[in-house]
Amino acid sequence: MPMRLTKVILSGFFATALCGGAFAQQVVTLRMGTHNAVTEPGVTEDAAVFIKEVERLSKGSIKIDFYPGEQAGKANQMFNLVKSGAVDIGNMSTGYTSGEQLPLVGTWEIPGLAQKSCDIVKAMQKLGEPGGLIYEKNFKPNNLRMLIFAPYPPYGPSASRTKISKIEDLKGLKIRSAGGLMDISVQKVGGTAVKMTAPELYEGLQRGTLDTVFLSYLSVKGLGLAPVGKYGATGFSFGQPGDMFGISEERFNSLSKEHQQVLVEAGRTTSLHWCEYVDNTESKAMADTKAAGTEIHTWTPEEVAKLRALTADVPAEWAKKVSDRGLPGNEVLEQFRKLVSQ
């Protein structure tokens, strides 16, 4: 059964300019799905914010039936579910799409580039909306329009069965990567990249099919991984994968202009709310993870320099790989770098 979410902290951005009579029309109901559990920040500070904002801006003329926890489909199926119309608005995480379907969003996973989630959000609101290079070359050809960009804080080996006190400890480990560009980074530090969805991580660590996971501490806390991941490290970003909620262009264009504008504005508000929340929360999530018993190593300046050197070629290798598929890898990389540094 769908779940209605009504209690959300709203950021209050973007006052709507739509007149009161603009929504004197039939109520539209949209199905929205995510793999995140209803208690995770990916719902409470993301999807739930969007739902509440859509209802407010549309004056109740758009209702959203929400399906958390993979009720609408598996995380790695959402790309096809949205394209086919089985789900109206779906969470297409970069970890499940940047390898094959939407490779240009692999820019989120560039090691050591962005330090704040809001830097990525602002870049994607330029590159991933109509007229932007990623939209025109990757989203539009797949009949998709992204409404929400929600990158997580910097990823690293944040939950591990094996103690990590030096870079060499990563060698030979089975490391859950978000996919795409991050797979290359894992290889550079001597690990073996393993694909696994977020709901499978606890069991993977528990059974030993994974040695460690590259995640933010916000995710470690949300997924409750501390009991099976007693060790971690911090101080170097292996990239910032995250969630994108999108709708098919066909479904979007079936809506009235007023309803289209509601979805766009609600998505922008949600993206900014999310990034401000996670940028201000990661340090507390790390402290809570330590309090739960996880031993966290902080990379020394010398180790950070070594990690930068080990991963220095990753962006160029990724850009060539993407360009070989006929996509503007180098151009996207250049534009993304400029935007996140502004």
- Is pLDDT of 1 > 50? no
Which amino acid, residue 130?
A: P
Q: What is the pLDDT of residue 22?
A: 55
Range(s) of the domain holding residue 47: 26-151+243-280
- Is pLDDT of 281 > 60? yes
Instruction: Indicate whether 51 and 146 sit together in one domain.
Output: yes
Q: Let me know if residue 8 belongs to a domain.
A: no
Q: Give the whole-angstrom CA distance, residue 191 versus residue 310.
A: 12
Instruction: Indicate whether 42 and 89 sit together in one domain.
Output: yes
Q: Let me know if residue 17 belongs to a domain.
A: no
Q: Note the Cα 185 to chain centre separation in Å.
A: 18
Average pLDDT over residues 5-10: 36
Average pLDDT over residues 76-80: 94
- Domain of 40: which CATH number? 3.40.190.170
Instruction: Indicate whether 165 and 77 sit together in one domain.
Output: no
Which amino acid, residue 208?
A: G
Sheet containing 144-151, strands listed edge to edge, beginning at the edge strand earlier in sequence: 62-67, 28-33, 89-91, 242-248, 144-151
- Is pLDDT of 112 > 60? yes
Average pLDDT, the chain: 90
- Is pLDDT of 4 > 50? no
Q: Note the Cα 255 to chain centre separation in Å.
A: 26
Q: What is the pLDDT of residue 55?
A: 96
Q: Let me know if residue 15 belongs to a domain.
A: no
- For 42, the 3-state DSSP assignment is helix
For residue range 156-183, list pLDDT tens digits in order: 999 999 999 999 999 999 999 867 788 8
For residue range 257-276, list pLDDT tens digits in order: 999 999 999 999 999 999 99
CA 112, 118, 123, 127 dihedral sign is: positive
The answer to which of 62-66, 71-75, 247-251, 267-271 has the lowest mean pLDDT is 71-75
Task: Report residue 35: phi and psi, to 5°.
Answer: -85, -15
Query: What does the CA dihedral 320, 323, 328, 329 come to, rounded to 10 degrees?
Result: -30
Instruction: Indicate whether 122 and 268 sit together in one domain.
Output: yes
Which band of pLDDT confidence, cut at 50, 70 and 90, is reported for residue 96? confident
Which band of pLDDT confidence, cut at 50, 70 and 90, is reported for residue 25? low
Which band of pLDDT confidence, cut at 50, 70 and 90, is reported for residue 208? very high
Q: What is the pLDDT of residue 10?
A: 34
Q: Which long-range contacts (CB under 8 A, 24 or more apart) does 323-327 make?
A: 325/103, 327/103, 327/104, 327/137, 327/138
Which band of pLDDT confidence, cut at 50, 70 and 90, is reported for residue 15? very low
Instruction: Indicate whether 270 and 163 sit together in one domain.
Output: no
Instruction: Indicate whether 175 and 69 sit together in one domain.
Output: no
Residue 135 tokens read as 């939209």
Q: Let me know if residue 1 belongs to a domain.
A: no
- Is pLDDT of 31 > 90? yes
Q: Let me know if residue 11 belongs to a domain.
A: no
Which band of pLDDT confidence, cut at 50, 70 and 90, is reported for residue 9? very low
Q: Give the whole-angstrom CA distance, residue 7 versus residue 286.
A: 26
* Cα maximum dimension of the chain: 64
Q: What is the pLDDT of residue 197?
A: 82
Q: Give the whole-angstrom CA distance, residue 250 versus residue 259.
A: 14
Instruction: Indicate whether 73 and 167 sit together in one domain.
Output: no
Instruction: Indicate whether 252 and 205 sit together in one domain.
Output: no
Instruction: Indicate whether 146 and 220 sit together in one domain.
Output: no
- For 324, the 3-state DSSP assignment is coil
Which band of pLDDT confidence, cut at 50, 70 and 90, is reported for residue 198? confident
Q: Let me know if residue 10 belongs to a domain.
A: no
- Is pLDDT of 24 > 90? no
Average pLDDT over residues 222-229: 92
Instruction: Indicate whether 304 and 265 sit together in one domain.
Output: no
Average pLDDT over residues 52-69: 97
Q: Let me know if residue 83 belongs to a domain.
A: yes
Name the residue among 340, 341, 333 with its Cα closest to residue 317.
Answer: 333
Residue 154 tokens read as 């910097």
Which band of pLDDT confidence, cut at 50, 70 and 90, is reported for residue 23? low
Average pLDDT over residues 234-243: 93
Domain count for the chain: 2
Instruction: Indicate whether 99 and 201 sit together in one domain.
Output: no
Based on its alpha-carbon atoms, the radius of gyration of the chain, rounded to whole angstroms, reads 20
| pLDDT greater at residue 191 or residue 22 | 191
CB 88 within 8 A of CB 259: no
Instruction: Indicate whether 226 and 275 sit together in one domain.
Output: no
